[in-house]
Structure 1
Amino acid sequence: MAAKVRVLIIDDSATVRQTLASVLESDPLIEVIGVASDPFVAARRIRDEIPDVITLDVEMPRMDGITFLRKLMAQHPIPVVMCSSLVEAGSETLLQALEAGAVDIVLKPKMDVAEHLLESRIRICDAVKAAASARVTGARRAPIPVPRVGRDPEKKLTADAMLPPPTGRAMARTTETIVCIGASTGGTEALRAVLEQLPPDSPGIVIVQHMPEKFTASFAKRLDSLCAVSVKEAEDGDTVLRGRVLIAPGNKHTLLERSGARYFVSVKDGPLVTRHRPSVDVLFRSAAKSAGSNAVGVIMTGMGDDGARGMNEMKQAGAFTIAQDEATSIVFGMPKEAIAMGCVDRVAPLQALAKEIIKASSR
């Protein structure tokens, strides 16, 4: 049997510590080795036993989570998942956490609705397992393999839950190319690195990055302030334009649609697809249907297989496809699955992705 991912929970709320421990230990591949009410208690615990992953609250007494994260990454890097009751005002702080070295951000589970708790459990457990296999700067040990065992306890829906498969009919070529990008664990900083290199007249781009709701708006604003292209959180009906990047809002699926020569996005509710909402598979399938050979698909760092089937459909529809390479991926899961399907035209390191996107868009 595969070794379990050993997790240390740091949160000042006893109720949250108990709930998180229960949520994580419901997964047969996760073991909670301890809990701590603040970073000082956690530091003493880490001296005795080093966890594979830490879940860390932001606001705590004596030392806040961001300060502890920076000290941890400087002295003894361990994969960290920030776990927060995120509100709009706090999302900028969580962006700082990603810059400081956090692998991912998840929302604390809601206890009032059973469906919300189930979805929170899926998201939290998947984030912790992804973090366990992440490359953390300065870490002294190799990434931990987290194999899949048995079947998923919940039905894993495909993009069929949101839209039918492509018909296979070729789309007529146009002068406009649409770029669709999918990313997950490690993707926030990787996307910044790519978008900062793009010129202001780049082709229109639609991105799915797995992240919580309310976080995507701040993420888009941050990128908009750093990049030559315009970046915004996607709204239903937004037109895909040259020089504009649309970020799929958290907790909503985003689809590419076409009316005549105009491309636009539809933002919709719906079930988790490949355990995510938004789902890369949903975006990529919609691009295969609406753009066909006028599209470029890019799959980047992330755990799991979301996006692989959709990229295969894009490839079959005539799109050009690109995957981030293993050496520069924080987690080489999503790109690896797409490459294994044989649907990737080009594999490139992170620093070359922007150039590859421009080259593919002008072919």
Structure 2
Amino acid sequence: MTSVELSHVTKTYGAAAPSVDDLSLTIEDGEFFTLLGPSGCGKSTTLRMVAGFVAPTSGTIRFGERDVTSAPPYKRDTGMVFQSYALFPHMDVAENVGYGLRMRKVATAERRTRVDEALAVVGLAGYGERRIDQLSGGQQQRVALARALVVQPSVLLLDEPLSNLDAKLRDETRSQIREIQRKAGTTSVYVTHDQAEAMAMSDRIAVMNGGVLHQLGEPREVYRRPATAFVARFIGRSNVLPGVVEGRDGGTAAVRLTDGSLLHTPVAVDGGAGDVAVGDEIALSVRSEAVELLGPAPAAADRAEGTIHARLAMVEFTGSSCMLGLDLLDGADDEAAGQADRRILITIPDTDDLPRTGDVVALRPDPARIWMVAR
């Protein structure tokens, strides 16, 4: 096992904006680390720089104490699982898995033993003589994983390996990959745009956008305490509500939203929006499941602190729950039309007693689940 350290790594192509901009992070020994973000955010470029397929424009990459910034891929001791699996159709399963060992001139007997062990680890013992076209998509993915693991790499790199699988198989296979990685104990760097994959599999997540690292942390921390409005919107369903700090009381701030609502929120002094003062413009992240539907809204003059008034615009039935889309209303006039940029989403258990489209209702975000983010 080994750690991976990127220090001020930047990658630019010509005069275009950097694909990766001054990225610094450390991946610990044995960690399952995920680079997460939308298409074009720089995550795959970062993985390719770690693999040695792309050279950074500036910065350094270290594996443990070894500087590998200029080292070619074959001298980095990595295993790679590609999005397309890149299996050889003219070889059987055992030949595919053992290909890297054959290139390293490992003796035939040892190669056979290690291939059998690798196939057993990924749950494909006895599949060595199968043709690749006789395997399901999930089995092919595990063959690709066995091929990467059989060379006993210091670092395992996985580039969106589940993107070609259907939803059910993707859920099953991600659990298998994580269990295999735990058993092997290999430092692993995983790239995906799928938030659910990242949350379910990772020890830590690096959220990227536009080549910039927005947040680095454990899945629960990133979900509950997003550092920026982008992270809040990208990870799960979160409402990002702009407002102005109206008061401070120790570790709590009173924030007046643009619709006139007054909410109270914890103040983060070591992350998120940082420490704030009265008059600062900030934004609040409120998760859709952290908002309670109270019922019909009282008159605007009777609006209670900690509540929001909104008009129900849409309902989506999702099985055990419902997603409600509501338009925030101006506190001075609860009949004012909601605007597209003031939509709030909430998730509630399914019930036969839902309000009707057009009804004005009161909502109460859980104060403990509100979080300040940088606008």
Structure with a larger share of its residues in strand: 2
Asked if these proteins are the same fold (TM beyond 0.5), I'd say no
Structure with a larger share of its residues in helix: 1
Give the TM-score normalised by structure 2: 0.26
Q: Which has the higher contact order (CA 8 A, sep 6+)?
A: 2
